[in-house]
Structure 1
Amino acid sequence: MDTDFLISLFTIIGVDIILGGDNAIVVALACRNLPIEIRNRAILLGLGLALVIRMGLTIIAVHLLEIPFLLAIGGALLIYISYSLLLEQTDDRDIQGGTSLWSAIKAIIIADFVMGFDNVIAVAGAAHGNSTLVMIGLFVSVPVIIWGSKLILKGFDRFPIIIYLGAGILAFTASRMITHEEMLAPLFSQHPFLTLAFQVIIILAVMIIGSYKKRIHSFHS
């Protein structure tokens, strides 16, 4: 495995860890009204079906990102997502918990479809068309959601710097999407220093501006 493959692999795993928390909350809310004895079944079935749907969406996204300038546009969108992660704005989405196995599974699938867009964009961008990386990223996301969510959320509360690390990972992924844009290849591929400088600037800008806006928001609230 070459260096670029390993960087993309660890980036995808990082993205899954950072963005898996919201989806874990969705699973918990969707299953909160179920009898204890069928909760695990609802979680496994719901996430299994959600994984199939997300797999299809990610593969589609990988091919869509081959359209000229769409990779750069996806990178710009991911910059906004990483910036928003730092702001920690209140999430007003209301996930209704089901009282039957199927209703809970349906809630998990719908919510994952709606909330998984950022993950799909990030994984597709970090994979750079490599289907193996896409599949690895998708299958890594499942145990993250099932077993790692509580640890992640506790980590965010106890060590706020993890949030900045997560935003930095997403910003790094976004900058690589832009620098790997084929239409911008003459600008970046022939100037490695410019590529590195651009990536550093994007990461620092997201973390500094996001931190500043977060402090302003906290001050006024």
Structure 2
Amino acid sequence: MEFLEAATWITISKIILIDILLAGDNAVVIGMAAGKLAPELQKKAVIWGTVGAIGMRLVFATLLVEALTLIPLIHLGGGLVLVWIAIQLLKGGDEEAHIEAKNSLMGAIWTIIVADAMMSIDNVIGVVGAAKGHLELVIVGMLITVPIIVFCSTLLARIINKFPVILWAGGALLGWVAGEMIVEDPLLMPYIQGEELLVKFGTVFFVLIVTGMIKIWKKRDS
């Protein structure tokens, strides 16, 4: 892989943005799991829990990359899941993460790894889609973003809350990546040949329009 190519860094940038936007709750989980530990142990729990979380994400990513090459219609399925994830991101969640704080270092580390793994499926689907199945790009993106998410979660949340357009841009990006996955499905290619750009823009507009309708509906009910 040529790291100096502009296309490579554009892809890595997409991975970083998607991972950061989808990982807000993960950072909260890490903080909650280590909350009861002594200050000198909290740092160890966060560091080793993060290392374990990265390892689990890479396992998930490897399995998904393999699935993209072996399972029929997996690109279409992944694209549709990404559309749903994008809408969930933009409309805002109604649930908060509730994780029991642990009193032991190993208990906190294990809780961080398991909870992050359970909450990172959407992240993995998003970054693998953005990387177009290139595992090496997924690895680079995760190695950059996971430490940022863990140690800068409060700052990232403030920036996103101050500039909501970032969230909408992220949702549009997820819609675009969903379209990219759909048009790359081998079983669909003969039917959409020459219409790839239309599909990509179509998924973006679908995400934005559906989210807008949901928000209007919520305002009317409130």
Q: Same fold (TM over 0.5)?
A: yes
1:43-62 → structure 2 map (5 Å cutoff): 43-62=46-65
CA RMSD, 1 decimal: 1.7
1:40 to 19, 40, 43: 43
What is the SS of the residue equivalent to 2:147? Answer: helix
Q: Deviations over 1:119-160 (max 9, x none)?
A: 111122222221211211221222221233212211232222
Counterpart for residue 156 of structure 1? 160
Counterpart for residue 205 of structure 2? 204
Q: In the alignment, is the contact (CA less than 8 A) between 2:61 and 2:135 conserved in 1?
A: no
Percent identity for Structure 1 against Structure 2 = 33
Q: How big is the shift at 1:10? A: 2.1
Task: Work out the CA distance in 2 between the residues paired with 1:73 and 1:140.
Answer: 27
1:79-158 → structure 2 map (5 Å cutoff): 79-158=83-162
What is the SS of the residue equivalent to 1:123? Answer: helix
Task: Work out the CA distance in 2 between the residues paired with 1:183 and 1:3.
Answer: 30
Q: Which moved more, 1:148-157 or 1:65-74?
A: 148-157
Counterpart for residue 215 of structure 1? 216
Task: Work out the CA distance in 2 between the residues paired with 1:21 and 1:155.
Answer: 12
Q: Deviations over 1:1-51 (max 9, x none)?
A: 556544432221111121122211111111111111211111000010111
Task: Work out the CA distance in 2 between the residues paired with 1:106 and 1:116.
Answer: 15
**Unaligned ranges ≥5, structure 2:** none
Q: How big is the shift at 1:115? A: 0.2
1:63 to 63, 66, 69: 66
Q: In the alignment, is the contact (CA less than 8 A) between 2:76 and 2:181 conserved in 1?
A: yes
Task: Work out the CA distance in 1 between the residues paired with 2:109 and 2:212.
Answer: 37
Q: In the alignment, is the contact (CA less than 8 A) between 2:16 and 2:142 conserved in 1?
A: no
Q: In the alignment, is the contact (CA less than 8 A) between 2:128 and 2:135 conserved in 1?
A: no
TM-score (normalizing by structure 2): 0.91
**Unaligned ranges ≥5, structure 1:** none
Task: Work out the CA distance in 2 between the residues paired with 1:177 and 1:36.
Answer: 44
1:28 to 7, 31, 38: 31
Counterpart for residue 166 of structure 1? 170
What is the SS of the residue equivalent to 2:152? Answer: helix
The one-letter code of the counterpart of 2:76 is: A
Aligned residues: 218
Q: How big is the shift at 1:92? A: 4.2
